[in-house]
């Protein structure tokens, strides 16, 4: 089990390092303060608050035997991840806004009970608020979607990316327009095109002038392939250097623990554990 976890960690960090070449990165399970603070925060949140979170409702609706307690309390662990480093601003997608509201409420509740300690972090919404599923544009694109054609992964081959966009759900109108309420499928393609190409939606529409949706799907697929190509090359390069990845994990975890430990110790003193 430990060896499998380490292999998984190296795989995850080869991906993260390909996206962000900073010298330090931390693996959360190696910094036990995250789970310690999570437990303390869990004692401050009521069950109905977690049960009313949209993502919990979606998950239990799609899981045959209902969700686990770990899944239910995962947003509290997210809150601990943020508050442990006294973060002030957090970039999030639209689907995480509710979770950030929970983080803010927990910070306020802790401060009200124990004195001003945690900053109340602010959400920074990314320009592309939510990427929708290619197969169901009413739902967000998710790595856990059972339909393999619904989600584009950075590690997909060019052929796989083309196939997924060919099969993307649109409608019977051939013109490319951006009308999320009326034409969610085509609008999702336009949003993805604009995001990966660094364009405004209006500019993406200009490039699609005179192009029907079938051809536009290939245009978007090509833009995604080009955007992912250098990241994929970096991932493959990093995966060959196991020692480097393990060193990044070790250095990053040590740095994270250096920052997290005094905060967690102070929290324990405030709540009466020390």
Candidates 64, 86, 143, 237; catalytic one? 143
- 269 catalytically annotated: no
Active site residue 57: no
Rounded alpha-carbon distances, angstroms, from residue 256 to 22, 188, 263: 14, 37, 11
Q: Tokens 């947003």: give the residue.
A: 75
Separation CA 152–CA 160 (nearest Å): 8
59 flagged as catalytic: yes
Q: Which of 173, 170, 159 is nearest to 192 (CA)?
A: 170
Q: Which of the following is catalytic: 8, 21, 57, 59? A: 59
- 3-class SS of residue 89: strand
* Beta-carbon count within 10 A of 20 CB: 7
Choosing from 132, 140, 164, 217, the catalytic residue is: 140
Q: Determine the distance from the C-alpha atom of residue 176 to the mean position of all C-alpha atoms in its chain, rounded to a whole number.
A: 28
Say which residues have a Cβ less than 8 Å from residue 77's Cβ, sequence separation at least 6.
34, 35, 38
Considering all CA atoms of the chain, what is the largest pairwise distance in Å, rounded to the nearest integer? Answer: 69
Tell me which residues are annotated as active site: 59, 140, 143
């Amino acid at each position: 089990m430990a060896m499998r976890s380490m292999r998984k960690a190296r795989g995850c960090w080869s991906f993260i390092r390909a996206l962000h070449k900073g010298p330090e990165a931390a693996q959360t399970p190696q910094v036990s303060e995250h789970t310690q603070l999570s437990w303390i925060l869990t004692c401050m949140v009521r069950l109905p608050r977690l049960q009313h979170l949209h993502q919990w409702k979606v998950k239990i609706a799609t899981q045959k035997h209902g969700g686990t307690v770990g899944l239910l309390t995962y947003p509290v662990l997210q809150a601990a991840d943020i508050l442990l480093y006294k973060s002030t601003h957090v970039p999030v997608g639209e689907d995480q806004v509710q979770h950030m509201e929970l983080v803010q409420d927990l910070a306020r509740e802790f401060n009200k009970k124990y004195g001003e300690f945690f900053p109340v972090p602010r959400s920074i919404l990314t320009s592309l608020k939510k990427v929708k599923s290619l197969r169901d544009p009413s739902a967000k694109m998710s790595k856990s979607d059972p339909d393999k054609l619904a989600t584009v992964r950075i590690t997909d081959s060019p052929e796989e990316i083309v196939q997924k966009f060919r099969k993307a759900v649109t409608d019977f109108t051939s013109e490319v327009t951006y009308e999320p309420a009326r034409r969610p499928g085509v609008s999702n393609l336009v949003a993805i095109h604009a995001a990966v190409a660094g364009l405004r939606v209006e500019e993406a529409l200009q490039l699609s002038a005179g192009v029907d949706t079938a051809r536009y799907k290939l245009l978007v697929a090509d833009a995604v392939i080009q955007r992912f190509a250098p990241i994929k090359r970096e991932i493959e390069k990093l995966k060959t250097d196991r020692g480097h990845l393990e060193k990044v994990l070790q250095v990053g975890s040590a740095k994270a623990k250096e920052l997290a430990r005094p905060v967690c110790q102070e929290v324990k003193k405030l709540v009466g554990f020390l």
